[in-house]
Structure formats: structure tokens, C-alpha cells
Amino acid sequence: MAAAERTLAMIKPDGIEKGVIGDIIKRIEDASLKIVGIKMHHLKKSQVEGFYAVHKGKPFFNALCAFMSSGPSIAMVLEGDGAIANWREVMGATDPDKAAPGTVRSDFGTNVERNAVHGSDSPETAKFELSYFFDDNEIVTYEWV
């Protein structure tokens, strides 16, 4: 079994607007991913540009940054065995039309931009993305009973 790890999850502005925060969090906990940090914020465009810097120069970059700063979003620290891969499986493919049935993006996404959620794609990305939104003292510890 993969070692316990952490990943950064986001509920994007379209997920907030659709009123599916609770549905998405239920999928997270049902997948044995423990939420050990959570915050809601309305990001400035400059903050989004920094977060998605790896995509700078791509054709969708400007629209993505405009969308992600168009309304509030939720950032979460998820912890569990193989958390990065687990959350990516629960999310489904980037394009909701290609995402497997029953995944978050298939059920709650609209198109490749408005795809409801984000997740880190590697340990290196997770390290960067977690530290982008969370200080160490904003991450908690608790046990499920």
C-alpha cells in the first residue's frame, strides 16, 4: 500500500455556484481522504496566476485565471494513503466529457475549464500547491474512530 501523503484539493467557483460543496466533500471522505486543512477565499487574479504558473503561455491560461478569480473557491489539504492518486481518481479526467461515470468531474463539471475541482498531479506539485495556500500551523491532526 502507498505511504500516507498529502495533496491539495480545490473546489472551483463553478462547484461553489452549483451548491455542491457538500456533495464533493462527501466524495472526499468516502474515499478515506481526511481533510486536515480547509479555507474558502475569493482569489485575486494575481494569486491564481502564481498558483497556475506552470500553465503560463498556454492558450487557456488567461481564461483559466479569469475564471478562477471570478468567485470564491475552497482549498483543502487532503491526507491519506496515496492521497495524490486517490484524489485524482475521485476527480476523474480534466475534461468532464471524458471523465469516468461517477467521478466528481463527470457528475458536477461543465467543461474543461469549469470542471468543478482541482488536484495536485505529483508529489512535487503537491508540495508547491500546499505551501501556496497553507502554512504548517493551518494543518491539523486528528484520528477517525
Residues labelled as active-site residues? 118
Q: Cβ closer to ligand CMP: 16 or 64?
A: 64
Q: Cβ closer to ligand CMP: 41 or 55?
A: 55
Q: Cβ closer to ligand CMP: 41 or 140?
A: 41
Query: Total residues at the site for ligand CMP (CB under 6 A)?
Result: 8
Measured between alpha carbons, how far is 105 from 114 in angstroms, rounded to an integer?
Answer: 9
The dihedral sign for the CA sequence 133, 138, 143, 145: negative
For residue 60 the three cell numbers come to 487557456
**Stretch binding ligand CMP (CB under 6 A), from 14-22, 73-81, 113-121, 128-136:** 113-121
Residue 107 binds ligand CMP (CB under 6 A): no
Helix (H) or strand (E) holding 40: strand 34-41
Measured between alpha carbons, how far is 19 from 27 in angstroms, rounded to an integer?
Answer: 15
Among 17, 29, 60, 89, binds ligand CMP (CB under 6 A): 60
- Show contacts with ligand CMP in window 68-87 (CB under 6 A): none
Closest residue by Cα to residue 7 from 127, 89, 104: 127
